[in-house]
Chains A and B, each alone.
Chain A
Amino acid sequence: MAEAGKLRFHVPEPEVRPGGTPDFSNVPIPKAGSVPKPPIDVDPREIRDLAFSIIRVLDRAGEAVGPWADMLSDEELLEGLRHMMTLRAFDVRMQMAQRQGKTSFYMQHLGEEAVSCAFRKALDKGDMNFPTYRQAGLLIADDYPMVTMMNQIYSNEADPLKGRQLPIMYSSKEHGFFSISGNLATQYIQAVGWAMASAISGDTRIAAAWIGDGSTAESDFHSALVFASTYKAPVILNIVNNQWAISTFQGIARGGAGTFAARGLGFGIPALRVDGNDYLAVHAVAKWAAERARANLGPTLIEYVTYRAGAHSSSDDPSAYRPKAESEAWPLGDPVVRLKNHLIHRGVWSDERHAQAETEILETVIAAQKEAESHGTLHAGGKPSIRDMFEGLYAEMPPHLKRQRQQAGI
């Protein structure tokens, strides 16, 4: 027993800081295929272990193994690879466009492409995502036009959001992508409300909530879990644990809990933890949760274990708070490389075809970029009108806004 004395204040610290050698030896990585796949109507109490393990399908040799494998065809996997490569190329071009002053801001997905791209393919048309700012793969994998995304990023005359929103805060009801807000975690409980409405209406559609590791500390995370649990809402509660919330390592949000997935257990919500860099595992787990929700069995919480390989945003420099080579040391590797190796292992892909695909995808992205730039960029070319600033706040413009619009010279 510890001796009573002066109390000491505890502040968690990451293992390594800039200048140190990256070390993930304390991150236990179970073998691919080692985690069982329960039936969707399992009692949450029986699968508590799954909140502390990591569901993985792809092994080191690029082979798909275990009970969560064999859910996708060659064609579907090739398509998934193309989506991830497209998102990565899109990120590179838009990050560059930000550096060139064509837009004010950008946020990349580097290293997290599998999470949103694979998840989208587990949903049906009509289901609704409530994403954060780092799930653009949901749009890419649903074939949302890249040009429209770029128009939004450039705030140009073709911007569907009329220049009102910060770059990357997309919105598309048609593609099941709820309007992104800058305020963290707010959409997590909104997703639960959407799912409740679907259940109240006797609908068959489900919702997906998205949050990062850092934002799980927000109170709306708790609100969402309470409501989802109470009303058994048909919602998938996704937590993307990329280890970092800007400069803050995940231990600050997670505290003494072993995992983020474990948060679900206290609410009676079955919780899965999955290799976020394993396209097949992400898809399999998402499919399992979607089936559960659709069968009216209630919510599922999923923690995607991944790594934010890029900077937090175009305004961030990670070398100020973490070792430069940390992403290379990340034990779950790169999602694009791992799926590529798997497809080569399956005999439907090769290094040559991959290189060729990279070139083709880059050309497609550049063509989209040229088209978008023909509608203008933030400081040059076509712009949304000043009128657009006043319109669309209310269904009908109230008198005081009409007066202000006149004062603005419109």
Chain B
Amino acid sequence: MARKTMIEAIRDAMDVAMGLDERVVVFGEDVGFFGGVFRCTQGLQAKYGKSRCFDAPINESGIVGAAIGMAAYGMKPCVEIQFADYMFPAYDQLTQEASRIRYRSNGDFTCPIVVRMPTGGGIFGGQTHSQSPEALFTHVSGLKTVVPSNPSDAKGLLIAAIEDPDPVIFLEPKRLYNGPFDGHHDKPVTPWSKHDLGEVADGHYTVPLGKAVIRRPGNAVTVLAYGTMVYVAQAAAEETGVDAEIIDLRTLLPLDLDTIVESVKKTGRCVVVHEATLTSGFGAELMSLVQENCFYHLEAPVMRVAGWDTPYPHAQEWDYFPGPARVGRALIATMEA
């Protein structure tokens, strides 16, 4: 047991999975010799050799398409798209192929791949280093979508994803790579070494896909969050004094609806937060499910705090990012509704 950053935890997960199963191969742009632009695969090539961890041409469709072929052969590729913003050339392979190979072949072929993608904003990444495309995956039948929020979960979820028999999109909030971030960009960032969730168990363990976790128990309002927004919601709850119950969804599909419904039935109020743009974002699905399943328990309309419906800007970073002030206003508004 040691404190690790999310980067180290993710690397550890791949190390463990590769050590246990020689069918696990890791590749992507700059992933091999260099160890990844975020250092997530550092040392893996030296340890497991070029056949198990290697650099790929700059071709996202090629990376995912080759991984699908490898999976059809019987391997378990864990590949990297350098930024989630650059997954679009691979979208055809992910949504029309990976997601449906088991279904269309009636299990004759399967696709146990993991596609890791650094996601999210808050880093002055501008339009193409900040996007949160999770809704473009949760809308696809046959994919699973995971977003960890801390090193301990990141390792357990990634090992679970690699061992999962189905294709998993693994979105890593790059803003959380080195420490938790609550949206207070003007304050110094706390490293994971000073946070309990930086405590990462050694060796093999999994965090099951499809299970949410309550990060902050509360009675006044349920906040549905994932990734960076878990910490923003925590800060908002503390700063407003609203006794919010904060649920870290961890897996968006399959979704842990039971935990959500149980909480909202208790609190009677719900605020959904995400960095991704509002319209047709994953929040819309969450709101619908809460409305369908908790209608008679709701004491206020379900609210959403999300990125604006614009491309992610550069200079206006903190006017775009849904920080603790905006989330706090929503918490107060739902309590007053």
Contact = CB atoms under 8 A, between A and B. Distances in A.
Contact of B65 (A161, A190, A398, A400): A190
A395 B168 CA distance: 12
A220 interface: yes
Interface in B59-97: 59, 61-62, 65-70, 72-75, 77, 89, 92-93, 96-97
B28 interface: no
A181 B62 contact: no
B104 A190 contact: no
B92 A186 contact: yes
A169 B59 CA distance: 27
B105 A196 contact: no
B61 A392 contact: no
A164 B258 CA distance: 30
Interface size class of B (residues with CB under 8 A): 35 or more
A179 B69 contact: no
Contacts of A188: 65
Interface residues of A, number: 46
B166 A179 contact: no
B69 A194 contact: yes
Interface in A164-194: 164-165, 169, 171-173, 178-179, 181-183, 186, 188-194
B165 A395 contact: yes
B76 to A, nearest CB: 10
A136 B15 CA distance: 42
B73 A161 contact: no
A164 B142 CA distance: 14
A194 B100 CA distance: 17
B97 A186 contact: yes
Contact of B103 (A195, A223, A393): A393
B57 A400 contact: no
A123 to B, nearest CB: 15
A173 B72 CA distance: 9
Interface stretch (B106-114, B146-154, B169-177, B305-313): B106-114
B25 interface: yes
Nearest to A397: B254
Contact of B97 (A183, A194, A196, A230): A183
A219 B166 contact: no
Contacts of B93: 186, 189, 220
A181 B104 contact: yes
A400 to B, nearest CB: 7
Contacts of A201: 73, 75
Contact of B109 (A169, A171, A222, A230): A171
Given A191-B69, A399-B254, A171 B105 contact: yes
B62 A128 contact: no
Given A219-B89, A399-B254, A192 B25 contact: no
Contact of A200 (B25, B89, B255): B25
A224 B57 CA distance: 11
Given A183-B96, A400-B257, A195 B69 contact: yes
Interface in B129-172: 141-142, 144, 164-166
Contacts of B257: 399-400
A42 B107 CA distance: 41
Contacts of B165: 394-395
A173 B108 contact: yes
Contacts of A226: 57, 59, 62
Interface in B223-259: 253-255, 257-258
A26 to B, nearest CB: 35
Interface of A: 128, 130, 160-162, 164-165, 169, 171-173, 178-179, 181-183, 186, 188-198, 200-201, 207, 219-220, 222-224, 226-227, 230, 392-395, 398-400
* Closest 5 pairs between A and B when the two form their complex, measured CB to CB: A193-B69, A193-B66, A189-B65, A223-B62, A398-B254
Given A193-B73, A220-B62, 10 more contacts: A161-B104, A171-B104, A181-B97, A192-B66, A193-B68, A193-B70, A200-B51, A200-B70, A220-B61, A399-B210
Interface of B: 25, 51-52, 56-57, 59, 61-62, 65-70, 72-75, 77, 89, 92-93, 96-97, 100-110, 141-142, 144, 164-166, 210, 253-255, 257-258
29 contacts: A128-B72, A160-B106, A164-B104, A169-B104, A171-B108, A186-B65, A186-B92, A186-B93, A189-B65, A190-B68, A193-B65, A193-B70, A193-B72, A200-B25, A200-B52, A200-B70, A219-B61, A220-B62, A222-B59, A223-B62, A227-B56, A227-B59, A392-B106, A393-B141, A394-B144, A395-B110, A395-B166, A399-B258, A400-B257
